[in-house]
Structure 1
Amino acid sequence: MAEVVTKGTGKVERTADRAEVQVNFETSGATRTEAVDLLTRRVASVEPLLTRPGVEVRSRQLNVHDNWNGRRRSGSRASQSYTLRVDALDQLDDLLGALVAAEPTWLNGPSWQLAADTEAVREAQKEAVLDARRRAEGYAEALGARLGTLLRLADGDSEMWAAESMRAMAAYGGAPGAPPQMDQLNLEAQQITVTVRCTATWSLLD
């Protein structure tokens, strides 16, 4: 029995409904204890921001180490890094503005995500199968045959990506001066493209 194998691609766009932000604070002192004490005071104003509704701390990591100038110890440094998940996007501008006002060492984000992708993936799967069928029908017609039944279907790699996942805030590194104005950065939720690929094998009929 003759067969034809085709690949199909389905793409669906959805508006992001979740954002992720990474922020880091660093301090230095003559000793590790001093560096940690300074860091504790520095993040004291940050911690209340992380208890806002719709904000989840996905990770909180502390790092303390000595600085060295050759073989000579030259003070100590302490840092605290946060990875934040923001589901209340209407609060994102205010949160980022407050974080920047706290003068982080660096802040990356937002990166845009979908809270749930099941519906979008299923729609993309349907589009991928239809695309594979259209291609198979074209080959069958070119051969003067008829497209038969689907014999095998293999799932390809699925992926999600945001058209502009990292916005202007990604470059903020705690430089001196006034913090950027949030209303000037256009931090609107971006479109997420869900892509599904498949490989289908069809029978060909005379």
Structure 2
Amino acid sequence: MSDAPLISVRGEAVVEAEPEIARLSVHVQSQESDRRAALDRLTERNRRCLDLVESYGDAVEKVETGGLSIAPLLKYKRREGDIRAYRGTVWIKITVADFGVLGELVTRLGDLDRTYVNGPEWELRRDSEVYGRAARQAAHEAVARARSYAEALGSRLTGLVELSDEGLGRTMREAPVALAAAYGGGVGGAAEEPEPIDLEPETQVVRAAVEARFTVTQPDLEPR
């Protein structure tokens, strides 16, 4: 086992970057006195929502159905009684890559009947180069810090013993907020398109940290 002196350091990096995708969560509802009518109305509204989203082509990267439910609503909460209505809900998850259409898409979705839009959640892609950039900066910081300590002791770095990644973390500045709700909107007749809402992408903050151990030459500890 080598008896060379060791220096242990921690390197950190904080990188700010523009988001690469935005996620929207859309809930489409129906409520009718008849179960089949509620399901049919929900199917119709779901199709209308999907048609709108798909009309944006490649600007929308992914569309997923997160869940569907049809639930009876009772007249009395504390006892089994007559069913007064049936409520249907479809949850649609949308990933948008082109922020140029995002404001328009959000307002048009929010203008649909009985539709609730939540978001956007600004994110980096999982394979974003920003994470690698942060990791490299953290490693460079560890080397620079170790070299600084070694020079202060009259030593120099001679080798790397260990480098461990503490992981990468993304910090959101604010939680996403609900942008549009249109429960019980009007039906029938051509309606004027809503004005697109201005959305400013939220800066993404990526933090990286590493721990490293270096061997160094014997320090010069003689008083000066």
TM-score of the alignment, normalized to the shorter chain, above 0.5 = yes
Q: Please classify the TM superposition score into its range, dividing by the shorter chain length.
A: 0.7 to 0.9
Is 1:86 matched up with 2:96? yes
| Cα offsets for 1:68-101 (capped at 9, x unmatched) | 3321242221111100011121111111111011
User: SS at the partner of 1:22?
Assistant: strand
Matched with 1:71 is: 80
Instruction: Determine the structure 1 residue equivalent to 2:31.
Output: 28
Match of 1:14 among 13, 17, 24: 17
Secondary structure, in 3 states, of the residue corresponding to 2:201?
coil
Q: Residues 105-160 of structure 1: CA distance to partner in whole angstroms, max 9, x if unpaired?
A: 43211111224644222221221012112322343344443333211111111122
Please identify the structure whose Cα radius of gyration is greater. Answer: 2
Alignment of 1:132-143 (within 5 A): 132-143=142-153
| CA spacing shift, 1:172–1:91, aligned 2, 3 Å | closer
Matches within 5 A, 1:1-206: 1-51=4-54, 52-53=56-57, 54-55=59-60, 56-68=62-74, 69=76, 70-74=79-83, 75-115=85-125, 117-164=127-174, 166=176, 168=177, 170=178, 172-174=180-182, 182-183=196-197, 186-206=198-218
Partners of 2:29 and 2:184 in 1: CA distance: 15
Separation of aligned partners in 2, 1:165 and 1:130: 32
Local SS of the residue matching 1:120:
helix
Number of residues paired by the alignment?
Answer: 202
* Distance in 2 between residues matched to 1:47 and 1:149, nearest whole Å: 58
Aligned-partner Cα distance in 2 for 1:102–1:62: 18
Give the Cα–Cα distance (whole angstroms) in 1 for the partners of residues 113 and 15 of structure 2. Answer: 38
Q: Contact 1:66 / 1:73 at 8 angstroms: preserved in 2?
A: no
In structure 2, C-alpha distance between the alignment counterparts of 1:104 and 1:9, rounded to whole Å: 47
Distance 1:79 1:176 in 2: 14
Greater CA deviation, 116-125 or 189-198? 116-125
| Contact 2:65 2:90 survives alignment (8 Å) | no
Shift of 1:194: 2.2
Q: Per-residue deviation at 1:42?
A: 2.9
Listed one character per residue, the Cα deviations across residues 30-86 of structure 1 (whole Å, up to 9, x for unaligned) are 232121122233334322112121212033522112223321242221111100011
* Structure 1 length-normalised TM: 0.83
155-164 or 8-17: which moved more?
155-164
Structure 2 alignment gaps of length 5 or more: 186-192, 219-224
For the Cα contact (< 8 Å) 1:110–1:165, is it kept in 2?
no
Q: Which runs of 5+ in 1 are unaligned?
A: none
Return the TM-score normalized by structure 2: 0.77
CA RMSD between the two structures: 2.7
Amino acid of the residue matched to residue 192 of structure 1?
Q
SS in 1 for 2:51: helix
